[in-house]
Structures are given as C-alpha cells and as structure tokens.
Structure 1
C-alpha cells in the first residue's frame, strides 16, 4: 500500500511538509483505498469508486474544501428572473447529449478556488450560445469571479449573480482573453465580449420537479445544485443510493444531457469542474427519476439557465 501511495503522490505531483503529515495522509489514503475495494467488490452498486486526486482526504475534509463554493439560489425573486418557458413541453427526446451537438466545451478544473458557481454558469452560457449561434467558444469564469458585484470569488457564490453580471455587462470575455487563475483578482473589465447572443437574464426550473428539469435540459444545458457527499471517490457508472440533500454542502454543476444506462437506470449527464482525472473524464452520471421529489442528491431543487 505504501508503494501505491508513493505512485499516487508522483502521479498527482503531491508532497507533504514533513514525515508526520505524510503518515497521517498515508493512513487516510489507505482507509480510502480499502473502502474503494470493498465497494467495488460488493457487486451490488451501479457505480464504481476509484483512487483520484482526493484520495488522501477524509470525506469531511473533502466536503470542507470542495463543498464551500455554492449558496442555494433563487429563494427571492429577481427583476430579471423570467418565467419558466418550457412548462408546456410534452415530447422530449428519450436521450440527449449536448456534447454531440457541439454545445459543451472541454472539462476544466477549478483547483482550490471554491467557484463552482461560476464554472456551472459559464458552461450553461457556453451551451446556449453554441445552440443559438452554432459557434462553441470557451468563455471566462475569471471575468465573472473578478468583476461581478457580489465579489464572492472563491468563497461561495450563486449562479444567478453570474448570469446577472453577464447581462449587465452586456457580454463575457473568452477564456483566452481573460484566463483562469484560481484566485480572485482585480477586475479587468476591458476585454472584448465573445458572445454573439445577448444574455437577457435567467429562468428557474420549478423546484423539485424532474419532469420540468427534463424539459429544460432538452432545450439547453442547465446549472444545478447538488449534495456532493458521494462524489468524493466517484469513478464511473450511475450514482445511486443515499446521497442526501444538505443545502449547506451544495456544489454547483451543469446538466448537459440525460439518458438510460446499459443497466436500465435513468440518469442525468453532469459536467463537473474538477478536471479530467475525476469521474468519467470529468463527468458524473446521476440517477434520474427517483422517488424523492428533490431528485438524487437534490439535483432538482435549485436549477436555472440563462435566457437569450
């Protein structure tokens, strides 16, 4: 196991400040690997766990670091919050992957900055921009982090604030013109906008309604809040089980599709912002159509999308 830990450290470029810290981390790593092996050997789960870059963190440490970047949104109405225009949709495709329609940019990594809210909003904006214009452009999370009025930066934020910034700013810079730094910097709001469509505001999906969420996702990528408790060591498959709906621990991601697994489990296809080395090349499939109205991990509770 110690050799495996050394190999893992080398793979991820990790080092520790002293031998005592290393031994503490090694014990956590060892416990996690044993948990992963037990889970995968049980043979009763619809998803597998794996050794990823979070493998030397306890689940509590993981949540403290990576579930601090969001605040449940839309508890109060906004003057620029539009009505839900997809409520009368009856026929939606049985499956959809917006990646197949050139509406999803490559997976990114937010690093140590708790700004999942900005990444989720940008992914949704990139999606509707590509759907409307036919042009897929990587847009700048950093522009939102540095310049939005709320200035939450790396310490919790809301996707509606991100959408509002883009609306008021009348555009958003590209990732090339305003690259990501994983810290909150000085606003440089003099970059040209890379949007060909105008973001006019945002809409909320009716809370705890997966049918309404499906209608929205069938038209464009949608940002959602989820409880990340089970995401720590997720590797592949459809996430099922007791996930929880802890609003204090919510993480924000973007639904970019849906479908049915080879085992017949309905799922949401979710784009995350933890890099390619996590999950299914940066994605997680989350069970869809569960008995709880809030959805798996609370995925149906707080969902929104930008309007053009």
Structure 2
C-alpha cells in the first residue's frame, strides 16, 4: 500500500437512518390497506431477520407505517434524492438517536490547523456537483452498531476518500482505532470529527480495518506492530458555508 501525507478538506458527513446499511424496496400496492402494510412489515422483518413479540410488534408496526409512508412520499416528489427502508425502519427518530447517537450535546467549533483563507477559496470553473461514489472514492456503507461513534466514522470516511483520490487506491480504515485511542473524546459516548483528524495527524496515521477490526464498543488501545500499514494526513480544513 502506498502511504502518503495529504492535506484533507473536512466534509461533514450526515448519515440519515433511511440511507444506512441494506435497503428494502417499496411498491405502491404495499400501501393499499392495513393488511398490505402488515404484509410489508413482515417481509421487512424477515428480510432483516428482526424478531418482535406480539406486544412489541403492535407498537413497532405503527412506527414502521409512518416511516414507510415518509419514504414512499419523498420518493415520489420527483427529486433526485431517493430513500429506502433499512433495518432501523421500526424505530422512532428519538429511539434511533438514543441507541446510536452521541451523548455529547455540545461541540466546540471546528478548528483547522492552517491559518488564512480556505485553500480552494479562489478556485475557478468548479463543477456544480461531483459524485465520488462513481469515481470509486467511497467505501461501502458501514454500520456503527450500538456505539455513538458516528464522529469516528465521519472522519475515517473522509480520510479513506482523500487517500483514494490521491493514490487511486480505496482502502477501509479502522474506526475502532480512533474510538479506542483518541482519549480526548468519549469513544462510544460520542466525540467530534476534528478531534479524530487531530488524533490521526499526531499518532502516525491510522491503520487499515483488517489490522484493527470494528466491534462497536469501547476497547483498550492496541499498540501497532512493526509492519502495521497506515494512512496519514498533514492537516484538514473546514469547508466554508456557501452563501
């Protein structure tokens, strides 16, 4: 693996529950009646191997209906954005946030490690959009599990992408190393991505996921071995808001 040092531009990655992990297709006939919606719910449960008792299923079905109708409605607005049902479709927003979100309610401002204007502030002839997935710069969707590690996943995904853009080599890097070893934040209790970038810069980079697999929990920081392949960055910037 080619290891290089880069200046990384911070891109805020927001994961919506309707985009995570495997998807589940919807059809208009699924919404014709309460019975068809229940059949949809059972197919969804079987698809994602989710088991509920009778009492829990009654509660979850109501939430599932609302989420399924929202997905179907958005997908028929004629927009480029398309949503899908995933394995979290019978959880409310509050339940999802409680189970998978960060417990940290306040974030300090993101501070770049360079002084002056944004490095691309005067760039010309910028395309209106770029889909980096089509250019092979984005890994498959990952699942953070029951751990408030979204901050680590956001930072690691950005590093994975800039590494591919610079080297044409897409690798999967270790979120677990960041969760375990960045002592400035709370691991599964939450953190922020600028702290993760600082950690990667100050600790000789980040190893590949194969060397330090993710298990969705807080663990002891493991020292890297002599042949531990790592990706490093020189810095990062916050992309200014477009007015």
TM-score (norm. length: structure 2): 0.71
Question: Is there any run of 5+ residues in structure 1 with no aligned partner, and where?
Answer: 211-292, 294-308
* Equivalent residue number for residue 112 of structure 1: 146
Selected match of 1:63 from 97, 102, 109: 97
Q: Say whether residues 1:139 and 2:169 are aligned partners.
A: no
Q: Output the CA distance in 2 between the equivalents of 1:107 and 1:167.
A: 24
Q: Output the CA distance in 2 between the equivalents of 1:189 and 1:48.
A: 42
C-alpha change, 1:82 and 1:185, in structure 2 (3 Å) is farther
Q: Say whether residues 1:11 and 2:47 are aligned partners.
A: yes
**Number of residue equivalences:** 204
Once the 2 structures are TM-superposed, how far is the Cα of residue 77 of structure 1 from its aligned partner? Answer: 4.3
Alignment check: 8 A CA contact 1:71 1:158 kept: no
Q: Output the CA distance in 2 between the equivalents of 1:123 and 1:76.
A: 17
Select the structure of larger CA radius of gyration: 2
Structure whose residues are more often strand by fraction: 1
Spell out the pairing of 1:24-103 with structure 2 (5 A cutoff). Answer: 24-37=59-72, 39=73, 43-44=76-77, 46=79, 47-68=81-102, 75=109, 77=111, 80-83=113-116, 84-103=118-137
Q: Output the CA distance in 2 between the equivalents of 1:48 and 1:30.
A: 18
Once the 2 structures are TM-superposed, how far is the Cα of residue 109 of structure 1 from its aligned partner? Answer: 1.6
Deviations 1:73-103 (A, max 9, x none): 552746x355421112122134422234432
What's the secondary structure of 1:97's corresponding residue?
coil
Alignment check: 8 A CA contact 1:81 1:204 kept: no
Deviates more, 1:114-123 or 1:90-99: 90-99
Superposition RMSD in Å? 2.7
What's the secondary structure of 2:236's corresponding residue?
strand
C-alpha change, 1:44 and 1:106, in structure 2 (3 Å) is closer
Question: Is there any run of 5+ residues in structure 2 with no aligned partner, and where?
Answer: 1-36
* Equivalent residue number for residue 225 of structure 1: none
C-alpha change, 1:180 and 1:140, in structure 2 (3 Å) is same
Alignment check: 8 A CA contact 1:171 1:194 kept: no
Selected match of 1:181 from 215, 222, 230: 215
TM-score (norm. length: structure 1): 0.58
Stretches of 4+ moved more than 6 A in 1?
69-72
